[in-house]
Chains A and B, each alone.
Chain A
Amino acid sequence: MSDETQTTNPLEPEFEVALHPDAAGAYTEVAGAETALGWAPDTELIARRGTWAEVWARFRKDKFALFGVVVIVLLVVVAVFAPWLAPHDPTKQYTDIGLTTQGMPVGPSSHFWLGTDTLGRDMLSRLIYGARVSLIIGILANGFALLLGVIFGITAGYFRGGVETFIMRTTDVMMAFPIFLFAIALSTAIAKPSIWVLVLVIGIVYWTPMTRVIHGEVLSIREKEFVDAARLTGCSTFRILYRHILPHLVAPIIVYTSLGIATTVLFEASLSFIGLGVQPPTPSWGQMISDAQNYYLVAPWLMIFPGLCIMLTVLAFNLVGDGLRDAFDPQQRRR
């Protein structure tokens, strides 16, 4: 209960008074509506809105989060319409005009807006196509990790007992592995590297932190009295899980997913760097940065532009994550 609610409503209305229109002032103030005419007009306002409409109403007040959404939408558009947006073929090596006579990459120019890479390929086009790889991996791998984490975390936290011991000790074992080595081992064991193998590998590697977070949250939520009340009113276990427990997990899920997408983009870059990620000539931002490491003094754009792309993507997902977390919490409404 926030202090504001207390001050606007210092005295509990009497049993009869509670229904009296005069008492309405307290509520209209709480809801932030301008009218103090009584119950009816004020409630009309809220009555039309569903949960999602309210979340959106709160979300759109957050300017930073909206900026994040704009960036993500732009990224998605760029990724989807890459073939139409890219000025050049991302894999074509312009050995004639794309390289200097010494064989070095050329800087930004009217022909190659962001310069070329060490093989004379257009940087802009490669970045545009690279967005596809980063987004697909970032979203799918995290979705996969999230799915596993939520299922295992809720199962362990709600049902306790042997199931909990098994799941949580397994995550301990998983986390004791050096993640990177584990991913290398997995991706070499599973067929030949591709985006889908990457999604699978990253998902399998990253479900453990998610499981732990969800497990901890569920442990505290399941002891709350409203869960007992739900059991008492005859809710099925499934209903308790998705109606009473899951909504309280939205905040941690969103925060960890937004952070996770950032981590995943970097993880993909690392795997691509050692040759287990996206295979050339398919461009990926991480791979482009690792390609640039020997040239960044003479051709800084090789590193700067993909770095900016990764930074912007990570930032956008973090901002949106923060905004969503606040928007999902009804108690944040008055901020």
Chain B
Amino acid sequence: MSAVVDTVTPEGPLVSIRDLKVHFPITSGIVFQAKVGAVRAVDGLSFDIRRGETLGLVGESGCGKSTTGRAILRLEKLTGGQVLYEGSDLARLRGKALRRQRRRMQMIFQDPYASLNSRMTLGHIVGEPLLVHNLRRREERVDRVRELLNLVGINPNTINRYPHEFSGGQRQRIGIARALAVEPNFIVCDEPISALDVSIRAQIINLLQELQQRLGLTYLFIAHDLSVVRHISDRVAVMYLGRVVELAPNAELYETPMHPYTQALLSAVPIPDPVVEERRRAIVLTGDVPSPASPPSGCHFHTRCPAAQDGLCDIEDPVLRQVRPDHYAACHLIHDEDYPHIRSAEDVASSTQTRPNGNGGGPA
């Protein structure tokens, strides 16, 4: 999948992922465990994250979004592939070198209740990264922690409090302060708002955007909420069953989705206008997402794709390739020469009924 090569930013991408694979073994037996299979959570991902951008990563539950984010930060063991941070391969680092590199990459977690150690005060939670990396002298550490708390909108005087004294939104801010403590360039936001009350989500999103501008951060923003991703992202990658099926600039992806899966996904977003909602036809995919333990052959999506073609989609792996300027998709049915196959949601929906081969729609 070397087709995805970034040419836009002159100094190259901040993070490049090349053929990333994370397989979780399925074992049986108590003393002598035999590997009987593997869950292919992430199965050959390649994309770049550009400096200063927010790359949105969307997909259904279980498609490998979070695993991708965790794998980039080396929280999961990689089965294969490379994670290049400014050109150096993180996948091969270990021990001290890895710990040093971790200063540059941080994560904001989904569950603000589980992501803070309940036995530590705010001062210790936010100050620990400073201590571990020896970033500040002892006397200066408290000042820096207060500064960080202030930055994320938490009263610095609460430095000796415990996390349970704070609300979910405040805890998420504390988690952000901890991530910022090591002065990272790159932050993986793993569904940072999906555990929060709706009333607080906007605050956290605004905080993240404000911090990005002020500190020049690069985000990988993982979410399943398409409208939030649309709001915050510069580019969006759509994942299906461990693979990226489409990657395009924000506006382009939402306006002209190329991949049938993206089209279906976007058509599922309700439109807050009863007239439009009445007239448009949503593409309803039938069946469930196949098990990542035994993904379908060829294009992973062919079992549910309304436009799948026998003898092509179920045999050959589609490659993520550039189909329009800066717009990548992995689908055999898109022809990049003159883009005749850019279809609206309605076209695809109607093709479900009139399709010559009666194979594509049903569950495999």
Contacts and interface: CB of A to CB of B under 8 A. Distances in A.
Interface in B85-126: 99-100, 102-103, 105-107, 109-111, 113-120
Nearest to A161: B33
Interface stretch (B40-48, B147-155, B279-287): B147-155
Interface string A1-40: 1100110010110111011000110010011000000011
Contacts of B114: 224-226
Contact of B175 (A39, A42, A47, A229): A229
B200 A12 contact: yes
Interface centre among A9, A14, A47, A228 (most CB of B within 10 A): A228
B153 A225 contact: no
Nearest to B106: A232
Interface stretch (A180-188, A190-198, A233-241, A318-326): A233-241
B345 interface: no
A169 interface: yes
Interface string B151-175: 0011101111110111111100001
B206 interface: yes
Contacts of B113: 1
Contacts of A239: 132
A2 B164 contact: yes
A102 interface: no
B342 interface: no
A283 B26 CA distance: 58
B165 A39 contact: no
Contacts of B175: 229
Interface string B317-339: 00000000000000000000000
Contacts of B117: 226, 230, 244, 247
Nearest to B76: A228
A69 B70 CA distance: 47
B164 A27 contact: no
A244 B120 CA distance: 9
A61 interface: no
Nearest to B112: A225
Contacts of A43: 157-160
Contacts of A228: 70, 75, 107, 109, 115
B182 A234 contact: yes
Given A234-B102, A235-B132, A12 B164 contact: no
Contacts of B100: 234
A88 interface: no
- Main SS of chain A's interface residues? helix
A15 B203 contact: yes
Nearest to A49: B160
A11 B162 CA distance: 19
A39 B161 CA distance: 12
B33 to A, nearest CB: 8
Given A234-B133, A235-B128, A229 B31 contact: no
B129 interface: yes
A300 interface: no
Contacts of B165: 5, 27, 30-31
A62 B317 CA distance: 67
A10 B106 CA distance: 30
Contacts of B99: 234-236
A110 interface: no
Given A9-B167, A43-B157, A244-B117, A231 B206 contact: no
A39 B116 CA distance: 23
Nearest to B126: A233
Interface in A219-262: 224-226, 228-236, 239, 243-244, 247-248
B73 interface: yes
A275 interface: no
Contacts of A236: 99, 132
Contact of B161 (A16, A46, A225): A46
A24 B161 CA distance: 14
A226 B178 CA distance: 11
B199 interface: yes
Contacts of B155: 18-19, 23-24, 27, 39
Given A27-B165, A226-B115, A46 B203 contact: no
A14 B170 CA distance: 10
A1 B162 CA distance: 11
B223 interface: no
B182 A233 contact: yes
A233 B178 contact: yes
Contacts of B166: 5
Nearest to B207: A15
Given A43-B160, A224-B114, A12 B170 contact: yes
A61 B208 CA distance: 43
B181 interface: yes
B76 to A, nearest CB: 10
B256 to A, nearest CB: 36
Nearest to A6: B167
Nearest to A18: B153
A13 B191 CA distance: 22
A282 interface: no
Nearest to B98: A234
A319 to B, nearest CB: 23
Contacts of A330: 118-119, 162, 164
A331 interface: yes
A244 B178 CA distance: 15
Given A15-B207, A228-B109, A235-B132, A331 B154 contact: no
Contacts of B150: 19
A5 B161 CA distance: 13
The 9 closest A-B pairs by CB, nearest first: A225-B115, A233-B129, A247-B119, A39-B157, A234-B99, A43-B157, A12-B169, A226-B117, A225-B109
5 contacts: A5-B165, A15-B207, A19-B150, A233-B181, A234-B133
Interface of A: 1-2, 5-6, 9, 11-12, 14-16, 18-19, 23-24, 27, 30-31, 39-40, 42-43, 46-47, 49, 165, 169, 224-226, 228-236, 239, 243-244, 247-248, 330-331
Given A42-B157, A226-B117, A234-B99, 16 more contacts: A12-B170, A16-B153, A19-B150, A27-B155, A31-B161, A31-B165, A46-B160, A47-B159, A225-B111, A225-B114, A229-B107, A229-B178, A233-B102, A234-B133, A234-B182, A243-B120
